[in-house]
Amino acid sequence: MPESPHLFAVTITLRGEFETGNADALFQAIRWCCEDNLPLPQWAAIAFIERYNRGKDGEIRSWDEVFGRPTRYGTLERLKRDIEAQRLVSAAIERPQAEGKPLSHVLFQERGEDSSRVKCVPC
pLDDT, tens digit, 9 for 90 and up, residues 100-117: 777 666 656 665 555 544
- Displacement of CA 119 from its chain's centroid (Å): 22
Domain count, the chain: 2
Q: What pLDDT is attached to residue 123?
A: 46
- Whether 3 shows a pLDDT value over 60: the answer reads no
In this structure, the answer to whether residues 58 and 41 fall within a common structural domain is yes
Q: What pLDDT is attached to residue 81?
A: 76
Which residue range forms the structural domain that includes residue 36? 7-67
Whole-number Å distance between alpha carbons of 84 and 68 = 27
With 0-12 CB in 10 A as exposed, 13-18 as middle and 19+ as buried, what is 47? Answer: buried
Residue 123 lies in a domain: no
Q: Which letter does DSSP use for residue 114 in this model?
A: H
Residue 80 lies in a domain: yes
Q: Mean pLDDT across the chain, nearest whole number?
A: 75
Residue type, 110: E
Q: What are the pLDDT digits (tens) for 41-100?
A: 999 999 999 999 998 999 988 888 877 777 777 766 777 777 777 777 667 767 776 777
In this structure, the answer to whether residues 41 and 79 fall within a common structural domain is no
Q: What pLDDT is attached to residue 19?
A: 92
The whole model's pTM is what? Answer: 0.52
